[in-house]
Amino acid sequence: MKLFRKYLLIPVVLFGTIGIMVSGCSKEKQAEPRQPIAATVSSVYTGTDYAIRILLPDNFNADSAYHVLYLLDGNDYFGEMTKVIHAQYRYNTILVGIGYKGTNRRMTDFTYPADKISDKSGGGIQFVKFLTKELLPFIQAQGIKATQQTLAGHSLGGYLALYLTFQTEIANPFNNIIAISPSLFWHDAYIFQLEASRFNQSKNLPVHLYLAVGDIEGVTMNTHFKAFINKLTLRNYTGLQLNHELLRNRSHNNTPITGFEKALTTIQ
């Protein structure tokens, strides 16, 4: 019996060791994304403290310039987009998540003009000032240089990105605008009025626009989306690169990450 145990023990230990080695090889540990830098930026324009998270590339070098992607609704999407950036753009893209330290104010910050839908709405122009006059300089002050700058938003965030594009009070510093499931219906489709006003001032619109909507987001979202795309196409702006997409089998809360991913393939 002792002999049996002795000889049984040898193959068990041998095969067990091989098994552990093989299993260790097949599950090669994947590198995790870098820890994002967290900062707070207080805005004098909106009176709000913003939670800013910055994901630097793996090989970040302060002497090099990168694509800087500014992501609205950072509280919701930064974690998911970190995985996308790390998997596909880890060496050439800096992700900046724009969230809130306290109460979420997207209904105020991402809307203009004020609408009866919410008495908190209508602060879009102040938020645009925060983005262009406070946040972008803050990012540059961190030693980050940009080859191109992109603003990405979903839903009301997508609307804000388009509002920033077509308003004429503040110059648009972004090369690319990503608007996924944008709330084009806001304030009786005010964005159409804004676009017409912009078109009458200048037919030059030097920006890359990517817009997408889910095909199961309903009539309101899809009809406004189609109408806006048709309007932009008819305008034939000089300098405008327009990409748009209907995301198949996607409901409203299922479009943001897929939309951002698809948009980045047209921008990078």
Partner 1 sequence: MKNIIIAFFIALPIYVSAQDGRQFNKKIELGFALDPVQGGSGVVWKAEQRLFNSRHIEGFLGFSGQVHRNQERKFSTAHKGGTTDLGLYVVSDWVYYPFASKHLFAGAEGFAGITNYKSAGTLSIPEYGVKESFSHTYTYFNYGVGLNMGYDFGRITTTVFGKASLKGLVDKGRTRPFDTDSRGFVGVSVGVKF
Judged by the rule CB under 8 A, the positions of this chain that interact with partner 1 are 80, 117, 183, 185-186, 188-189, 192-193, 196, 215-220, 222-224, 226-227, 230-231, 249-254, 256-257
Give the shortest CB-27-to-partner 1 separation in angstroms.
22
Instruction: Compute the residue count for the chain.
Output: 268
We find the least distance from the C-beta atom of residue 170 to partner 1, in angstroms, to be 23
What is the rounded distance in angstroms from the CA atom of residue 87 to the CA atom of residue 118? 39
Q: Which is nearer to partner 1, 54 or 213 (CB)?
A: 213
Rounded to an integer, what distance in angstroms lies between the CA atom of residue 233 and that of residue 213?
17
Instruction: Tell me the closest approach of the beta carbon of residue 111 to partner 1, in angstroms.
Output: 12
CA–CA separation, 112 and 18 (whole Å): 64
Q: Position 166: which residue type?
A: F
| C-alpha count within 13 angstroms, C-beta hemisphere, residue 225 | 25
In the complex, the smallest distance separating the C-beta of residue 238 from partner 1, rounded to whole angstroms, is 21
Residue 62 pairs with which residues in a beta bridge? none
Instruction: Identify residue 228 by its one-letter amino acid code.
Output: F
Indicate the pairing of strand 204-214 with strand 238-247: parallel
Of 157, 161, 168, nearest in space to 193 by CA: 168
Which CB, 21 or 227, lies closer to partner 1? 227
Closer residue to partner 1 (CB): 189 or 242: 189
Smaller CB distance to partner 1: residue 88 or 148?
88
Cβ(97)–Cβ(53) under 8 Å?
yes
Q: CA 147, CA 205: separation in Å to the nearest integer?
A: 19
Residues forming a β-bridge with 208: 176, 241
Task: Give CA–CA dist 264/139, Å, rounded.
Answer: 21
Please state, in angstroms and rounded to a whole number, the distance separating the CA atoms of residues 249 and 260.
16
